[in-house]
Amino acid sequence: MLDIYKGLLIILVVIRHVLQYSVTDEGGILTNIIWAIQMPGFMLVSGYFSARNVENTHELSKRIVGSMQHYALPFLSWWFLVSVLLLGGFDRNVLTAANHIAFHVDSGMWFLWVVFILSIIANICNYISSRNTAYYAVKTVVAALVMLGMLGILGILVGIRFIGIKFILYYSVFYGSGWLIRKTQDTWKRFIDKYSSLIAFVAIVCFSAIAFNYDLYHCEDNLISIALRCIAGFSGNVVLLWIANKYKDNFERVRLDNIGLCTLEIYTTHMYVNGLMSAGNTSGFFTATGFANFIVSLILTITFTVILTTIIKSIPFTNFLLYGKMKRN
């Protein structure tokens, strides 16, 4: 079911990015709804899958190296090899590009970088919680807060945008929640299964009340806005999870779970082709010309994403560098 959920999330991501470049109002309320759900959802599911037993330091180091391969390597490869060297960004000046990305991770595949940092924190917490020593739960929480606190202090000293600290701290709420959900699922799962429809109803009421009355995407980063974003992020994803589970058989028939297995490939690749119709970005989404431009842009984005992904995955070297994956015999 989680692969279906991931498939729904990546579809929302592609739609929102196409809206961003194809219509002048970026989709209006539609973008507000999608933006509130998409990345919090991916952080939740990433945190969920990061929760596992790490029995010793050897396994811990192995997990960290794995995170470097799956997240840090693609992040750096897409930025330096594709955006800078291949496409000529920053006049192919690697040092200038490095200085820029250090303070503007959102210029690149920021999601991969944030998940990389959070996965390191999660694996250290996995190691502490797996040891079952006295007060291991307290030690795990303290360790996580100390590591995030150190990032916060670094952000105060150097700048909150340095190495994506702003994004790491905000999305740690969702990532950490996903981690905690898996660690404690034996405790709450029976209750959730019993009252899932009621919980989904409450969630959709909360989400609608916020998403239809507050501009979550363009609002300032104050405490009220952050709180509303968090509530909308959690409630919106509760609804999406309920939909994924409720209509699981229908989604499986259209192979949506297969799309969910390729979210990293789709996320990274579509970012370079989703602006193909930006020249036609002259009207709002709810106009005939704007909607037509969006549909054409969406079709082109999907087509070229499939083509480029197939090519990249067919070459072991590029599959490793850009997707962090190696074919297994």
Helices (H), ranges, 164-253:
165-183, 185-194, 196-211, 223-246, 248-253
Statement: the pTM of the whole predicted model exceeds 0.95 = no
- Over residues 154-186, the pLDDT tens digits come to 999 999 999 999 999 999 999 999 999 998 888
- Over residues 253-303, the pLDDT tens digits come to 999 999 999 999 999 999 999 887 787 788 888 899 999 999 999 999 999
Q: Which two tokens stand for residue 291?
A: 């909607």
Calpha distance 15→199 (Å, rounded): 27
The percent of the chain in helix, strand and coil, each rounded to the nearest 5, is: 80, 0, 20
